[in-house]
Amino acid sequence: MEVDHRPRMDTTMPLEDTGADFARLLRDHHGIVATVAASYCRDPHDRADLAQEIAVQLWRAWPNYDRSRAFSTWMYRIALNVAISAVRSATLRHRHAVPLDETLHDLADPAPHDAQAEQQVRALHRFIHMQAPLDRALLLLYLDERSHRDIAEILGLSETNVATKISRLRQRIRHEL
């Protein structure tokens, strides 16, 4: 059975420290926000807007955060909810139509690496952006090696359903990449 070793909130922390605590947790887990934003928006401006919108919603939902649960799971829920809603919003979808390869150019890696690895990164990037919003959420969680339990909790599915979907997703990845 997979166990979540990700950091949890300190429930003994005084209330007045929660603002600073939120900022610290946001900094520690900013990768989740950045990854979700980059997976749902191609244009850098849209991406920055989405990242900020996610942070705003995190802060708004912060008072209701159940401290006995993993922060990253809660953060994923909000980030994905905001991103999926944003991608469905016509304004954001049609405001900046950026070709897929230019998106990756914007995410260019300054470190030198081999051509085959670069090709694989591009293929994966293309594959992520080809997915429907909900499928993309599942794919991101799978790639981030979240447990089936975590994925079920984030998406609101049963663990059995998640296992089935992951198995089909693996087949598609093998077939299409």
Partner 1 sequence: MEHDDLKSAWQSLEARMARSDAVQLALLRETRMTRARGHLRMLKLGHWLQCALGLGLIALGVACWTRNTDVPGLLAAGLALHAFGVLNIVGAMLTLVLAARVDYGAPVLTIQRQLATLLRAYALNATVCGLPWWIMWLPIVVAVAGLGDVPRGAGTPGWIVWSLAISGVGLGVTWLYGLRHRRRLLRTDAGTSVSCGDGADGIRRSQRVLAEIAAFEAR
Contacts of residue 70, Cβ cutoff 8 Å, sequence gap at least 6:
4, 6, 7, 8, 150
Site for partner 1 in 11-40 (CB under 8 A): 26-27, 30-31, 33-35, 37-39
Tokens 């401006």 correspond to: 45
Interface with partner 1, residue 86, by CB under 8 A: no
Q: Decide whether 12 or 64 has the Cβ nearer to partner 1.
A: 64
Residue type, 56: V
Tokens 């244009």 correspond to: 43
Kindly calculate the radius of gyration of the chain based on its CA atoms and give it in whole angstroms. Answer: 17
Interface with partner 1, residue 107, by CB under 8 A: yes
- CB atoms inside a 10 Å sphere around CB 48: 12
How far is the C-alpha of 40 from the C-alpha of 50, rounded, in Å? 9
Site for partner 1 in 142-161 (CB under 8 A): 143-144, 153-157, 161
**List of residues contacting partner 1 (CB under 8 A):** 26-27, 30-31, 33-35, 37-39, 44, 47-48, 51-53, 55-57, 59-61, 64-65, 74, 77-78, 80-82, 84-85, 88, 90, 106-109, 113, 117, 120-121, 123-125, 132-135, 137, 143-144, 153-157, 161, 165, 168, 173-174, 177
